[in-house]
Every structure is written in C-alpha cells, then in structure tokens.
Chain A
C-alpha cells in the first residue's frame, strides 16, 4: 500500500509511505526480511476524549489541531493520523462539511502522508451516518492526496469504498477482533472494486490488560492465513497502541507511565504482525522507533 501523493503524482505531500508487503512472520529475521513498519502519530480535532494528563502537558498544543499537527510533524512520524470525532452528536455535533476545514488546515500544517479517521467507536445512533458523510466529503475534496480514510465497517462500508475508489484513496477496514469478520469485510470491499493493497485492516485494538490478547491473536491468525495463501488476508494490519492512554491505571496517578504503556503495547502489536502502529503520546514514538531500529528490514 502507498499512502500519500507528491506534487508530480497529483497530491501535496513531501513524500509517500509504503505499508504492508510482509513475506514472512513478524521478526522471523532468520527466514526473511519484512518491510519496515510504519509509525503514525495521532492528532485529534477536539479535546473531548483526551486523558487529562495529556491535556496538562500539552494543553496549548492539543486544543488546536493545527498546532498539534505542527508538533507531531517535528517528531517525524512516517504518517499523521488525524482523528475527527467532533462530528459526533455526542461530542461537538460539528457538521461534516465544517470539519473539512480542519483536514484542510492539517494538510497545510504538515507535508507528511495523512490518514483521516472519523468516529472510531460509534456510540450515538447517528455516528455511522455522520462518518459516511464526512468520509465521502474528505475523499472528494482531497482527491489525489491518496489518503488513508476510515473506518469502513461491516455495517457501513459502501460509501467509503466508493468514495475512496473514485478519488484514489485507501480504506481503513475496521472489524471486531475476529479474523473471519476481517476477511469477510475485505471480500466485501474487493467486490466493490478496491484492491487488497488499498485496504488496511484494523481488527480493533484492546489496551494491555483490557483485551489486547484478542487483538494480538486475531492479527496473528490473519497474518498466518495471508502467508499461507488466503488472498483476502493479504492486507496490511494496523495496531492502535494509543488505546492504552485511556485506561484507568493512567488516570489513577500513573500518568507518567503513559508512554511506556503505549510503547510496550506497540511492541506487542509489532511482534504480532502490525504493519502500521498508531500512537498518541508524543514521547512514545521515539521509544518504538529505537526498537524498530535494532532489527533489519527489507530494503534497509
């Protein structure tokens, strides 16, 4: 998968990033080398769900997505993940059209390849419809940028798939910790005309001590099936280490440990086959990069 497009390619990114393409099990360096995993940092368009310790350390920055994107840009992640959840009626009830302005501003603030996600865990009954409207608008407005957009879910995937297909974007396919569901959603997306290199599989991440074992096992099963020849299990996998910042242990006075929770879980995700790891705490990225740096990757 290729995320981002440079100017000659019709986009405005400074470079493109490739994800996926594993040919062997993760960290089986004695058998063969896989491509280097992609590290993403997250930017939220509203502070509503953020843990208080993050707000305390980064208040000035995180309350402004553009400032936040600039900070993230300086930390040099491979990919920026802009999460737009203000569109949920339970959050800010911002109109999807209005939210486009944030996407536009973030695209200006960083020239790194961009991932744009809507409401990742729909709670309100209108959330899914909001997601679809928003993602369609994003796909159309930023045609040519080769974004990664989502979530597409088994309940709502058609709009995203069509919009991504028509405008040259990639799709984040989210299912619920079940390998067969993940493969089924891939089939549905492929039927819509997307190719497997344009789908990133999100099996849903649980935090350490909060169901991460389901995530790890689902990813392992997915990757094993893909390597054994199941064509529909050949997409890159994404792991949201950022889930760990929302656990109660951190709220209860262990907040200094936040980057260690996030980075430790990132390691577990990588060992289970994650091709993209998405993180939220600015101090986690470097730790995980150090880890990746100590292993050999295909193409250096």
Chain B
C-alpha cells in the first residue's frame, strides 16, 4: 500500500471524519470516536478497522507513521528493518530497530579473501543474554570499476544468510547485479545526482530500497524529492560529510528535523561509512560515535571486525527498552540438578544479574537452587543503594517456594554486594547467611571452601 508521507498530525475529530462512523465495534472499541482517539495517540494500528477506504487508510497510516520511515532490506529470513524510529533520545520512548552493522566486501578481493572475511564475520558473532550479536548485512563495493568482478562477487555471496547492499555508481553494473538478485530486495547504494534517474528506475524495476548521497543539503533534498516524485519511498540517506565532525552533525540534524519538525524529506534511515572518513580516530570509536548518533546502517571493514565487540555490546545496551527494564520472575530456579545437599543462592531479579549468574554457575558445573527476589528489576548494587532489597521479600519468596522442604540444610548464600544486609536477612528468614563473593565467577571456589566445609 502506498502510504501518504504527509506527516501532518490530525485531531481526533479530523480522524473521525475519515472513519465509517458505524460504531460496529470490530476494532475493539465501542465507537468510531473512541478508535479515533486511540489512533491519534498512536496507541492502536490503523488496520484494526477493516472498513476503511483506501484513501482513508493511506492518510491515517501516514499520520501514525514514525517520523523516520521504516525500510526493509532483504526478504524473508534475511530481512533486516532499519529506521522506523520515533524519538531522538531513548528515554522519550525507545529505539525500535537496531543499527545494522554491514561488513564491507569489494570486487578486488579474490574468492579466498571473500570467504575468509565471511568466516571472520561468523566468528565475530556471539551470544549475550539470549541474543546473537553479529554482523547483519554485507555491503558489496564496486572498487574495480568494472562489471564482471562485481557480478562475480554478487554471485559468490548471494546465498549467504546476509541481506545485501549493492554499492556502485554505475547503473549498468548495478543492473547486472540486481538481475542476479532478482526480488531479493538488496539496498541499492551509489545513487548521486549525476546518475539519479537511471538508478531510481532500477530501484523501481527491482522493487528495492535505494540510498542517495549528496555533498550538500540542497542537492540531497532535491534528490529525495525526485525519488519520491517517481513513487519511491524506500529511501536511505547517505548523509553529507567527509570528517567525523561533519557526519555527526549531519546525522544529528537529520534525526532532529525528522522527529521535532516532522520534516519528512529527511525522515529516512541513514547509512554511514565511518572508516572512509578523513579521521585519525581508531575505527571502533568512530563506529561507536555514529551509532550513538542514529546511523541506521554502519559499514565496517573486515580488519575492524574483531574490535567491534564493545560496539555491539553498546548497541545491545542502547536498544534496551527503557520503559520496561528487563527483569526475570521472582521465585525459585534450578541450576543443573540440585539435590537436598545442594547450596541455596540468592540474587535480585534484574535480568542481567540473573543471566550472568546462571551462566557462570552452569559453566562451573554447579548444581544449586537460586532464589530470585523481587527488587523491581534492579541489580544487587542498585537495589541495596535504593533500599529495594528487603529482607522481608527474601523471606516471602523462600516461604512461597517451599525451599525449606527441598534442602536438608538451612544456609543461604547471598551476593557479596548484599553483605550489609546479612544480619537482617538472617533475622527475617531464620536461616544462616553466608556472604558470597563479589564476583559470581568466584562462587565455585567459595562453595568448595565455605559451604562444603560444614
């Protein structure tokens, strides 16, 4: 469906006028008016009313569309979503789609080298808190200036699990590449003012998103206008700038204008190549900088991959939903196969604390019971400082879960950081309290020395 990108905010009355006014209730609200109010708040999806005219649907979708358009690159299992953002600061709502890290490959590389790079990309992936942090796309660059090597590169990687970015400024080379990829929806990168229309018609013909680059704002806006003029809306902006300072400025301006001023001609995801900038800053720092400043796609070179773990961890952090601190359900958890002789450990229900602790315990092959206490999802340190770890809550979870019937002993191991509360927890629960180590990886030794001794 074509979405009207007229991002004008409408009043509930204006929205109501576009609805069928039959109050049929299919949308889950008793009246069309109620539905209109919810739509304006962005609290419900337009599709919930099945009786909208196409025109109404287009207008309303435009109104509720995020100020940074959502663009999908790749299809099926390979698809990644970029953009779709509503705010400039995560505390105002949250960030919706994680910045895509794209590995750069070029057609001067031989087959061996390409395979090597793909292997590096695989090796760079790692598991963290039930997510896989990894490279999400491949950016293919036509450095040879010729079509054949580029086509060969496309052939070589087209069946990898990554969505592709096809980067060339030559429309006929681009066409050959797109012909191979057919309806795979790669991002066509390389449109500049000079080749804009031929590239645009390729994007239209192959139904793929297109990115546009310009050296200054005026040219950029004119180019975006022309793309929209021929019906292209899956646009990615390659922001102006040759230095880190200029690119950070461009990225910031684009996001702020799109969000604050609803300036829809800049309301698109962005792609940056931090390693192509004139800069002396170590590559991972450049990547971190553009990442914190909204770059939707960040293209990195193979040599940099092995330094990107911290940046991927930064990405995982800033993508956390600030409205819903991730927590685990308070209660009793089994680690390994605990017996009545196994130790009983206690911690808070901050998800990170829980994951790290259980991961460490599993790695060390410890069988134990884990009492998780409700601290509103705060870590041990934070909950102690904020007085959110209550000895009474510890007592309650222990009673509710019947831990006393499961073990023969009466010893509870609390986190090292909760040392201050050891006496109070002892009083509340009637169990003997052992203060564990500060770091969970020292627990095995601790259990051996302190707990088993008795």
On A, residues with C-beta under 8 Å from B are 27-30, 90, 121, 123-125, 153, 176-177, 206, 208-213, 216-217, 220-221, 224, 244, 248-249, 251, 254, 257, 260-261, 263-265, 267-268, 271-272, 287-288, 290-291, 293-296
Task: Give the Cβ gap from B142 to chain A, nearest Cβ, in Å.
Answer: 29
Q: Considering the complex of A and B, which 3 residue pairs feature the smallest CB-CB distances, nearest first?
A: A209-B313, A213-B317, A208-B313
In the complex, whether B419 has a CB less than 8 A from a CB of chain A is yes
Besides A124-B419, A213-B317, A272-B292, 11 more A-B contacts (Cβ < 8 Å) are: A212-B317, A213-B318, A244-B310, A260-B310, A264-B285, A264-B288, A264-B310, A265-B288, A271-B289, A290-B281, A294-B245
Known contacts A27-B248, A123-B419, A249-B309; A291 and B289 CB within 8 A of each other? yes
On B, residues with C-beta under 8 Å from A are 89-91, 128, 243-245, 248-249, 252-253, 279-282, 284-285, 288-289, 292-293, 307, 309-311, 313-314, 316-318, 320, 322, 352, 356, 360, 379, 381-382, 385-386, 416-417, 419-420, 438-439, 441
Which residues of A are found within 8 Å of B288, using beta-carbon distances?
Answer: 264-265, 267-268
Among A206, A209, A288, contact of B128 (Cβ-Cβ < 8 Å): A209
Task: Give the Cβ gap from B351 to chain A, nearest Cβ, in Å.
Answer: 11
Which residues of B are found within 8 Å of A123, using beta-carbon distances?
Answer: 416-417, 419-420, 438
Which residues of B are found within 8 Å of A177, using beta-carbon distances?
Answer: 382
Which residues of A are found within 8 Å of B439, using beta-carbon distances?
Answer: 248
CA–CA, A249 and B309, complex, Å: 10
Which residues of B are found within 8 Å of A251, using beta-carbon distances?
Answer: 441
CA–CA, A177 and B416, complex, Å: 21
Known contacts A213-B317, A217-B91, A264-B288; A29 and B441 CB within 8 A of each other? no
Among A121, A224, A261, contact of B381 (Cβ-Cβ < 8 Å): A121
Minimum CB distance partner of A207 in chain B: B313
Is the CB–CB distance between B420 and A124 below 8 Å?
A: yes
Is the CB–CB distance between B310 and A265 below 8 Å?
A: yes
Is the CB–CB distance between B91 and A220 below 8 Å?
A: yes
Minimum CB distance partner of B316 in chain A: A209
Known contacts A125-B420, A267-B288; A209 and B317 CB within 8 A of each other? yes
Task: Give the Cβ gap from B174 to chain A, nearest Cβ, in Å.
Answer: 33
Known contacts A29-B245, A30-B249, A251-B441; A291 and B310 CB within 8 A of each other? no
Minimum CB distance partner of B360 in chain A: A248
CA–CA, A153 and B384, complex, Å: 13
Is the CB–CB distance between A290 and B249 below 8 Å?
A: no
* 14 A–B pairs (Cβ distance < 8 Å), ordered by A: A30-B249, A30-B253, A208-B314, A213-B317, A220-B89, A221-B91, A249-B309, A261-B309, A263-B282, A264-B288, A265-B288, A291-B281, A294-B243, A294-B279
Is the CB–CB distance between B314 and A265 below 8 Å?
A: yes
Known contacts A257-B310, A268-B314, A294-B280; A217 and B89 CB within 8 A of each other? yes
Is the CB–CB distance between B310 and A176 below 8 Å?
A: no
Known contacts A123-B438, A124-B419, A265-B310; A213 and B285 CB within 8 A of each other? no
Which of B282, B307, B310 has most A Cβ within 10 Å? Answer: B310
CA–CA, A290 and B282, complex, Å: 8
Known contacts A121-B381, A213-B318, A221-B91; A264 and B128 CB within 8 A of each other? no
Which residues of B are found within 8 Å of A209, using beta-carbon distances?
Answer: 128, 313-314, 316-317
Is the CB–CB distance between A264 and B314 below 8 Å?
A: yes
Is the CB–CB distance between B352 and A210 below 8 Å?
A: yes
Minimum CB distance partner of B279 in chain A: A294
CA–CA, A208 and B311, complex, Å: 8
Is the CB–CB distance between A248 and B356 below 8 Å?
A: yes
Is the CB–CB distance between B313 and A267 below 8 Å?
A: no
Which residues of A are found within 8 Å of B284, using beta-carbon distances?
Answer: 260, 263-264
CA–CA, A59 and B171, complex, Å: 59
Known contacts A29-B245, A290-B280; A257 and B309 CB within 8 A of each other? yes
CA–CA, A288 and B281, complex, Å: 8
Minimum CB distance partner of A249 in chain B: B309
CA–CA, A227 and B452, complex, Å: 57
Minimum CB distance partner of A127 in chain B: B420
Minimum CB distance partner of B250 in chain A: A30
Is the CB–CB distance between B285 and A263 below 8 Å?
A: yes
Is the CB–CB distance between B289 and A211 below 8 Å?
A: no
Among A176, A212, A295, contact of B245 (Cβ-Cβ < 8 Å): A295
Task: Give the Cβ gap from B394 to chain A, nearest Cβ, in Å.
Answer: 18
Which residues of A are found within 8 Å of B322, using beta-carbon distances?
Answer: 213, 217
Task: Give the Cβ gap from B127 to chain A, nearest Cβ, in Å.
Answer: 12
Task: Give the Cβ gap from B65 to chain A, nearest Cβ, in Å.
Answer: 25
Is the CB–CB distance between B89 and A224 below 8 Å?
A: yes
CA–CA, A194 and B57, complex, Å: 58
Which residues of B are found within 8 Å of A272, using beta-carbon distances?
Answer: 292
Which residues of B are found within 8 Å of A249, using beta-carbon distances?
Answer: 309, 313
Is the CB–CB distance between A211 and B245 below 8 Å?
A: no
Known contacts A257-B309, A267-B288, A268-B314; A28 and B245 CB within 8 A of each other? no
